[in-house]
Amino acid sequence: QVVAQLLGSGSGTLAFAIGIVSLPSAFRPVAAAISAMDMTVLSEAARSLGASWWTVTWRVLLPNLRRGITAACFLTITVVLGEYTLASFLSRTTFQTALVLVQQTDPYVAAIFSVAALVFGFLLLVVIGRVGARRRRSPKESA
């Protein structure tokens, strides 16, 4: 209650707090992907071939950062789906806090929703993994 009175308990406050909590876990995979490639050489080579900065960013750098961005998405989703403490401190009713309230009245319904949340999280991570692993086929591979 004290935290909610000091900072407010709106959705914006909760989103900001969860964003701050998930930043370290999202930063490390992207930083590792950046350090694994030589961005200066790639961007200078693309610029010397006449590419604009927009093209360099979207067609050269981001495809090379795809694994790091995908890993950051995985970690951020797991942090967001598992965050109970911040919602409890801000007196917000999120899925996790609602499960605790439902569990006090009917534990079977809470178990069903918990399993459904696990299946939803698994499917969401599979979809992100498929999108992140997708790559374009070169003309040689299609021939």
Of 95, 81, 93, 76, nearest in space to 11 by CA = 93
Of 16, 71, 62, nearest in space to 37 by CA = 62
pLDDT band with cut points at 50, 70 and 90 for residue 67: confident
Distance CA(68)–CA(61), nearest Å, equals 12
Of 108, 114, 77, 111, nearest in space to 95 by CA = 114
54 or 12: which carries more pLDDT confidence?
Answer: 54
Q: What is the 3-state secondary structure (H, E, C) of 20-71?
A: HHHHHHHHHHHHHHHHHCCHHHHHHHHHHCCCCHHHHHHHHHHHHCHHHHHH
For 8, phi then psi, to 5°, come to 90, 160
131 or 135: which carries more pLDDT confidence?
Answer: 131
Note the pLDDT tens digit of each residue in 72-131.
988 888 887 777 777 777 777 778 778 888 889 988 988 998 899 889 888 988 888 787
> Contact at 8 Å (CB) between 29 and 68?
yes
Instruction: Return the pLDDT at 88.
Output: 72
pLDDT band with cut points at 50, 70 and 90 for residue 135: low
Mean pLDDT of the chain: 82
Check pLDDT > 80 for residue 8: no
Instruction: Return the pLDDT at 87.
Output: 74
Instruction: Return the pLDDT at 2.
Output: 61
- Average pLDDT estimate for 16-28: 86
- Average pLDDT estimate for 17-25: 85
| CA dihedral over 120, 124, 126, 127, signed as positive or negative | positive
Distance CA(73)–CA(67), nearest Å, equals 10
